Amino acid sequence: MQKVISTKKETMFSFLQIQDIYCSICALCIGFNQSPLALCFVLPYLSYVYMRKTRECIIATVIILLCTLFQGVMVTYIYALCISVFFLCVHILRLLEKNIYRYIPYVTTLISIPYAFFMYQFEGKGIWIIAVTMVLSFQLHKNYKWLHSSFSMNPILYTSIIFSLLSLFDMLSNGAYALPIYGGGLLFIVLLNELTVSAILSGAVFMLYPLAELPSICMLPLFLIGICKDDKKICVALLFASLLVFPATPYQVIYTITACFIVCLYHPNYVPWLFVEEPYQIQAAITPQSLLKRQMNNFSSIFGSLAQYYEHVSGIEADMLANMARALKFSADEVKRLTEKETVREKVLNALEAYQYEVTYLMMEEVKEGSLHIELDIKNMKRSEVKQTLLPLLEVLLHTKLQVCEVKYLRFSNGYHHIVLETLVPYEVQAYAYSIQKPYTVSGDSYSIFRFRQSMVCTLSDGMGTGEKAANASRLITNIFQRMMVSGIPQIESIKCINKLLQSDSYATLDVMCFDQSQGVVYLSKSAACPTYLIRNEQLYEIHGNSLPVGIVSQIEPDCFVIDLKEGDEYLMISDGVAIEEIQAWMKIRKYGKVKEDVKEFISYLKEKQREDDTTVLLAQVHKEKNMQS
Long-range pairs of 254-258 with CB within 8 A, sequence gap ≥ 24: 255/183, 255/217, 255/218, 255/221, 256/221, 258/184, 258/187
Annotate 33-46 with b (16+ C-beta within 10 A) or e (fewer): bbbbbbbbbbbbbb
- Using DSSP bridges, classify how beta strands 358-368 and 282-283 pair: parallel, antiparallel or unpaired: parallel
Q: Which residues of 491-501 are buried (b: 16+ CB within 10 A; e: fewer)?
A: beebbbebbeb
Amino acid identity for residue 615 in this structure: T
The average pLDDT across 460-483 equals 79
Could you tell me which residues come within 8 angstroms of residue 539 by beta carbon, excluding any fewer than 6 positions away? Answer: none
Distance CA 465, CA 424 (A): 44
- Are 94 and 413 contacting, i.e. CB atoms less than 8 angstroms apart? yes
Fold category of 343-423 in CATH: Alpha-Beta Plaits (3.30.70)
Cβ-defined contacts of 601-607 (< 8 Å, 24+): 603/434, 603/436, 606/436, 606/578, 606/582, 607/436
Question: Among 266-270, 335-339, 504-508, which is the least confidently predicted range?
Answer: 335-339
Please give the average per-residue pLDDT across 74-95, as a whole number.
Answer: 88
Name the more confident of 235 and 580: 580
**Confidence band (pLDDT; 50, 70, 90) for 285?**
very low
Q: So what's the pLDDT on residue 553?
A: 72
Strand order, beta sheet including 510-516:
445-452, 455-462, 510-516, 521-527, 559-564
**Residue 381 vs residue 354, higher pLDDT:** 381
| pLDDT score, position 496 | 74
For residue 215, is pLDDT > 60?
Answer: no
| Distance in angstroms (rounded) separating the CA atoms of residues 630 and 625 | 9
Determine the 3-state secondary structure of 72 from DSSP: coil
The pLDDT value given to residue 162: 82
Residue pLDDT, tens place only, 23-34:
888 888 888 888
Per-residue confidence band for 84, with pLDDT thresholds at 50, 70 and 90: very high
d(CA 545, CA 561): 9
pLDDT at 31: 85
Answer whether 101's CB lies under 8 Å from 410's CB.
yes
Smallest Cα–Cα separation from 160: which of 112, 123, 120, 193? 193
Inter-residue contact 304 to 328 (CB < 8 Å): no
CB 475 within 8 A of CB 444: no
* Annotated domain spans of the chain: 16-148, 173-278, 283-336, 343-423, 427-629
CA distances, 49 to each of 20, 53, 118, 130 (Å)? 11, 6, 27, 21
Instruction: List the one residue out of 539, 547, 512 whose CA is nearest residue 620.
Output: 512
- Percent of the chain past pLDDT 70, that is, above it, reads 75
Side chain identity at 175, as an amino acid letter?
A: G
- Its sign, for the CA torsion 300, 303, 309, 311, is negative
DSSP lists the bridge partners of residue 562 as 523
Q: Which residues contact 488 (CB under 8 A, 6 or more apart)?
A: 291, 295
- Give the count of beta carbons closer than 10 Å to the beta carbon of residue 150: 9
pLDDT interval class at 11 (50, 70, 90): very low
Q: Which tens digit of pLDDT belongs to each residue from 498-528?
A: 776 666 556 788 889 999 877 788 999 888 8
pLDDT at 328: 65
pLDDT of amino acid 3: 36
| Higher pLDDT, residue 220 or 515 | 515
Domain 427-629 falls in which CATH fold? Phosphatase 2c; domain 1 (3.60.40)
Contacts made by residues 130-134, CB under 8 angstroms, sequence distance 24+: 131/200, 131/204, 132/37, 132/40, 132/200, 132/201, 132/204, 133/39, 133/40, 133/43, 133/44, 133/108, 133/109, 134/105, 134/108, 134/109
Contacts of 269 (CB under 8 A, 6+ apart): 276
pLDDT at position 618, please?
A: 92
Calculate ∠ Cα 227-228-229, nearest 5°. 105
Bridge-based pairing state of the strands 510-516 and 521-527: antiparallel
How far is residue 27's CA from residue 174's CA, in Å, rounded to a whole number?
23
3-state SS track over 445-478:
EEEEEEEECCEEEEEEEEECCCHHHHHHHHHHHH
User: For residue 53, what pLDDT is reported?
Assistant: 77
DSSP state string for 370-404? TEEEEEEEEES--TTHIIIIIHHHHHHHHTS-EEE
**CA-based angle 168:174:180, to the nearest 5?**
70
pLDDT score of 373 more than 70? yes
For residue range 106-121, list pLDDT tens digits in order.
899 899 888 888 777 6
What pLDDT does 619 receive? 92
437 pLDDT above the threshold of 50 = yes
pLDDT at 211: 55
**Per residue in 126-168, pLDDT tens?**
788 888 888 888 888 776 655 555 566 778 887 888 878 878 8
**Cα–Cα dist 405/625, whole Å:** 14
Whether the per-residue pLDDT at 14 is higher than 50: the answer is no
Give the pLDDT confidence score for residue 145 in this predicted structure: 58
Task: State if pTM tops 0.75.
Answer: no
Nearest Cα neighbor of 521 from 403, 398, 427, 449 is: 427
pLDDT tens track for 455-464: 888 998 887 7
Q: What pLDDT is attached to residue 629?
A: 47
Helix (H, G, I), strand (E, B) or coil at 34: coil
> Taking every pair of C-alpha atoms in the chain, what is the biggest distance, in angstroms?
110
Band of pLDDT at residue 320, cut at 50, 70 and 90:
low
In single-letter form, the type of residue at position 547 comes to S
The most confident of the ranges 257-271, 288-302, 525-539 is 525-539
Q: What is the pLDDT of residue 7?
A: 37
Report phi then psi at 577, rounded to 5: 110, -5
Q: What is the pLDDT of residue 436?
A: 81
**What pLDDT is recorded for position 554?**
66
For 216-261, what is the HEC assignment? Answer: HHHHHHHHHHHHHCCCHHHHHHHHHHHHHHCCCCHHHHHHHHHHHH
pLDDT computed for residue 476 by the predictor: 81
Which pLDDT belongs to residue 88?
92
Distance CA 328, CA 483 (A): 14
Q: What is the mean pLDDT of the chain?
A: 76
The tens digit of pLDDT for each residue in 549-607 reads: 777 776 778 888 999 888 889 999 988 778 888 888 888 888 877 888 889 988 888 88
Q: Are 100 and 93 in contact (CB under 8 A)?
A: yes
Per-residue pLDDT at 368: 62
